[in-house]
Amino acid sequence: MSADADLAPAPATVAPKPRRSRLLKRFVGSKAAVVSAIVLAVVLIAALGAPWLAPNDPFAIKLIQRLKPPGWVNSAGATFWLGTDALGRDVLSRLIYGARVSLIVAVSALAISGVIGLLLGLVSGYFGGVVDDIVMRIADIQLSFPTILLALAIMAVLGSGLDKLILVLGLTGWVQYGRIVRGQVLAIKQEEFVLAARATGERQWRILFQHILPNVWSPVIVVASFTMASNIVAEASLSFLGVGVSPSVPSWGTMLADGRQYIGIAEWLTIPAGLAISLTVLSINLLGDWLRDFLDPRLKNIL
Partner 1 sequence: MRYVLRRLAQSVIVVFGVSIVAFGLLFLTGDPTEVILGDGADRMTVDQIQEFRAKMGFDRPWLVQYASFVGKALQGDFGYSFIRHQPAYEVIVDKLPATIQLAAFAFVLSLVISIPLGVLSATRPNTTVDHAVTALTLAGQSIPSFWLGILLILFFGVELKWLPISGSGTWKHLVMPGITLAAFPMARNMRLTRSSMLDFMQRDFVRTARAKGISERRVVYAHVLRNSLLPIVTAVGLELGFLLGGSVIVETIFGWPGVGREIVAAIGSKDFFVVQAGVIMLALIFAGVNLLIDLVYVWVDPRIRLGG
Partner 2 sequence: MSEAALVAVDGLAVHFPIRSGLLGRTTGAIKAVDGISFTIAKGETLGMVGESGCGKTTAGRAILQLTRPTAGRVAFRGTDLVTQEPEALRRTRRHMQMIFQDPYASLNPQMRVGEIIARPLRVHGVTRGDADERGTVATLMETVGLNPSLRDRYPHEFSGGQRQRIGIARALATNPDLIVCDEPISALDVSIQAQIVNLLERLREERGLTYLFIAHDLSMVRYLSTRVAVMYLGKLVELTSSAELYARPLHPYTQALLSAIPIPDPVLERARQRILLEGDVPSPANPPPGCRFSTRCPLATARCRQEEPAFREAEPGHFVACHLV
Cβ-based nearer residue to partner 1, 96 or 155: 155
Of 7, 64, 76, 157, the residue at the interface with partner 2 (CB under 8 A) is 7
3-state secondary structure of 72: strand
Cβ-based nearer residue to partner 1, 73 or 143: 143
Nearest to 113 by CA among 144, 145, 149, 142: 142
How many CA atoms are closer than 13 Å to the CA of 92, on its beta-carbon side? 16
Task: Number of residues interacting with partner 1: please give it, by CB under 8 A.
Answer: 45
Compute the least distance from the CB of residue 198 to partner 1, in Å: 31
- What CA–CA distance (Å, rounded) separates 90 from 81? 8
Of 150, 171, 299, 303, the residue at the interface with partner 1 (CB under 8 A) is 150
CB of 60 closer than 8 Å to CB of 80: no
3-state secondary structure of 242: coil
Cα-based angle 180, 288, 273 (whole degrees, multiple of 5):
120
- What CA–CA distance (Å, rounded) separates 198 from 176? 29
Of 96, 103, 112, 152, the residue at the interface with partner 1 (CB under 8 A) is 152
User: In 78-133, where do the E strands start and end?
Assistant: 79-80
Of 48, 60, 61, 196, the residue at the interface with partner 2 (CB under 8 A) is 196
Residue 63 partner contact from partner 2, partner 1, none using kind-dependent CB cut-offs of 5 to 8 Å: none
137-166: b (≥16 Cβ within 10 Å) or e: eebeebeeeebbebbbebbeeeebbbebbb
Of 199, 264, 297, 301, the residue at the interface with partner 2 (CB under 8 A) is 199
Per-residue x/- mask for partner 1, residues 237 to 256, rule CB under 8 A? x--xxxx---------x--x
- What CA–CA distance (Å, rounded) separates 34 from 27? 7
Query: Phi and psi dihedrals of 85, rounded to 5?
Result: -95, -170
**Is the C-alpha dihedral spanning 51, 55, 58, 59 positive or negative?**
positive
Span interacting with partner 1, options 51-59, 115-123, 144-152, 173-181, rule CB under 8 A: 144-152
- What CA–CA distance (Å, rounded) separates 141 from 136? 9
- What CA–CA distance (Å, rounded) separates 167 from 172? 8
Compute the least distance from the CB of residue 77 to partner 1, in Å: 32
Residue 260 partner contact from partner 2, partner 1, none using kind-dependent CB cut-offs of 5 to 8 Å: partner 1
Task: Number of residues interacting with partner 2: please give it, by CB under 8 A.
Answer: 29
Compute the least distance from the CB of residue 172 to partner 1, in Å: 11
Span interacting with partner 1, options 38-46, 77-85, 118-126, 263-271, rule CB under 8 A: 263-271
**Residue ranges that bind partner 2, judged by CB under 8 A:** 1-11, 14-16, 191-193, 195-203, 211, 214-215
**Residue ranges that bind partner 1, judged by CB under 8 A:** 137-138, 140-150, 152-154, 156-158, 229, 233, 236-237, 240-243, 253, 256, 259-260, 263-264, 267, 270, 273-274, 277-279, 281-282, 285-286, 300
